[in-house]
């Protein structure tokens, strides 16, 4: 079974750039800190170091990952002196596999170099623009967890690095008082031989009462392969998620191999439909006027305040939050799901849609969808035109005839040009890539 261990305590922080022998030895002695950590005044480069031990019982026949919710701005991660990961993207979560790098029963060291200095190949939004350069920091601004799983497991959405990773649960449609929930699960087999598995999907209401349960037929996964499984759940007389009544069901995914439970994952889901028409946005078939409030959730000091900020915004009459240009944490999105406010997800792309930045922007768009695809509060995306110099076209997510997602480029025009793509664009995410600027121009 999976085990999640908090990895936020007992770090040492060294707020200067190291070179030469000190850098090679990773001999860091500095301030003791707890993550998330963000001294606002710090810019440039700095280092974090943590010593940890693992027992044989912890890692016998297991896979070990470190899950980072966000490091600002770029990071190099060393495990026992070995450069394991180079990550750029500030607020994007990511995972690293440290299974073969850690030792049993002895001290292991992780060292993280964070850097906020500008690089020529980075898009402007990764640095939040030249005007924000003075306020930019280089710290571990969100939580870190160690995840220990069996060798057959459900991978993290972002950690997998591809669209098919993790779990996607979304409402395909609501018709004749029946909601159709599609659940897409990826399972990875890291054994060096084929394994037989069964995937069981269970849905519970808000009180924990079982609604339905579906099982796949026994199937096989080849050695060191990932495979996707689709289940479609019908919910009769569904409680739909809305701003007025943010009802959340509980979805549990269980994976069995040779009749043994090897992994389980539980998440909240909200049933709702989203579409765009000529006269605005429709949620659950009702025309919705977006009244947004700019709410910023960033860095460690604001973690405890964000829920009260969102509640206060809703009490003042706002029904949506429009975060700043960054991917927000899972905690932020879960709060919006629970409280009942729409989220206008920022499109964290920048530079140009062609040339050197094209590949980077496409990856960031994929990751943005991975971070928000399961949240009923995420109903639309801020226009990529805010960060792209070429306003003639825009990157959208579309589902092709085989049910696979792909990035397509379409002309940017009036709201009616977007509405023709809404059904296809929603795809496996249940989120139309609706350009928020067009909604605003229509008065909705």
Q: Over its length of 444 residues, how does the chain's per-residue pLDDT go in tens digits?
A: 889 999 999 999 987 766 644 444 456 667 899 998 877 655 678 889 999 999 887 788 899 999 998 887 788 999 998 999 998 766 788 899 999 999 988 999 999 998 876 655 454 444 333 334 444 567 888 889 999 999 999 998 765 544 456 888 888 899 999 999 989 899 999 999 999 999 999 999 999 999 999 988 889 999 999 998 988 999 999 999 999 999 999 999 999 998 899 999 999 999 999 887 777 778 999 988 888 887 665 554 455 678 888 888 899 999 988 776 677 788 889 999 999 999 888 766 554 444 444 566 666 666 777 777 789 998 877 655 444 333 333 333 444 445 444 444 333 332 232 233 333 333 444 444 444 444 443 334
Residue 174, CB-side half-sphere exposure with 13 Å CA sphere: 22
Q: What pLDDT sits at residue 141?
A: 83
Distance, in Å, from the CA atom of 152 to the CA atom of 344, rounded to the nearest integer, reads 36
Instruction: Give the three-class secondary structure for 318.
Output: coil
Given a contact cutoff of 8 angstroms between Cβ atoms, the answer to whether 432 and 413 are in contact is: no
Token digits of residue 287: 């025309």
Question: Hunting for tokens 């947004």 — which residue is that?
Answer: 292
Distance, in Å, from the CA atom of 181 to the CA atom of 225, rounded to the nearest integer, reads 26
What does DSSP say about strands 286-288 and 280-283: parallel, antiparallel, or unpaired?
antiparallel
Q: What pLDDT sits at residue 302?
A: 52
Angle formed by the axes of helices 358-372 and 330-339, nearest 10°: 40
The secondary structure of residue 271, as a DSSP letter, is B
């Amino acid at each position: 079974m999976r085990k999640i261990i908090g990895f936020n305590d007992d770090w040492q922080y060294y707020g200067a750039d190291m070179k030469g022998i000190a850098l090679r030895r990773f001999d860091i002695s500095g301030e003791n800190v707890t993550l998330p950590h963000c001294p606002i005044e710090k810019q440039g480069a700095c280092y974090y170091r943590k010593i940890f031990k693992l027992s044989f019982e912890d890692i016998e026949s297991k896979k070990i990952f470190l899950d980072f919710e966000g490091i600002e701005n770029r990071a190099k991660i060393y495990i026992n002196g070995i450069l394991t990961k180079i990550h750029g993207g500030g607020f994007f979560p990511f995972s690293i596999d440290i299974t073969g790098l850690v030792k049993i029963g002895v001290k292991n060291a992780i060292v993280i170099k964070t850097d906020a200095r500008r690089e020529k190949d980075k898009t402007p939004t990764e640095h939040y623009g030249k005007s924000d350069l003075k306020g930019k920091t280089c710290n571990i601004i969100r939580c870190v967890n160690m995840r220990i799983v069996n060798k057959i497991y459900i991978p993290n959405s972002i950690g997998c690095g591809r669209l098919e990773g993790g779990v996607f649960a979304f409402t395909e449609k609501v018709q004749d008082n029946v909601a159709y929930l599609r659940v897409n699960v990826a399972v990875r087999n890291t054994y060096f031989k084929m394994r037989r598995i069964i995937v069981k999907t269970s849905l519970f209401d808000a009180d924990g009462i079982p609604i339905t349960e579906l099982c796949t037929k026994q199937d096989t996964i080849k050695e060191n392969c990932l495979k996707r499984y689709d289940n479609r759940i019908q919910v009769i007389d569904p409680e739909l998620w809305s701003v007025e009544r943010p009802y959340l069901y509980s979805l549990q995914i269980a994976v069995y191999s040779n009749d043994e439970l090897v992994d389980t994952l539980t998440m909240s889901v909200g049933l709702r439909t989203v579409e765009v028409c000529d006269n605005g946005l429709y949620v659950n078939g009702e025309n919705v006027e977006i009244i947004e409030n700019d709410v910023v959730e960033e860095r460690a000091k604001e973690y405890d305040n964000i829920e009260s900020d969102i509640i206060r915004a809703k009490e003042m009459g706002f029904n949506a939050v429009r975060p700043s240009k960054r991917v927000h944490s899972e905690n932020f999105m879960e709060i919006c799901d629970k409280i009942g406010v729409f989220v206008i997800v920022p499109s964290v792309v920048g530079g140009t849609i062609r040339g050197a930045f094209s590949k980077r922007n496409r990856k960031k768009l994929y990751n943005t969808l991975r971070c928000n695809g399961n949240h009923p509060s995420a109903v639309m995306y801020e226009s990529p035109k805010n960060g792209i110099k070429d306003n003639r076209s825009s990157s959208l997510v579309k589902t092709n005839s085989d049910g696979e997602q792909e990035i397509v480029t379409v002309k940017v025009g009036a709201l009616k040009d977007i509405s023709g793509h809404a059904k296809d664009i929603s795809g496996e995410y249940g989120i139309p890539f609706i350009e928020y600027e067009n909604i605003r121009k229509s008065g909705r």
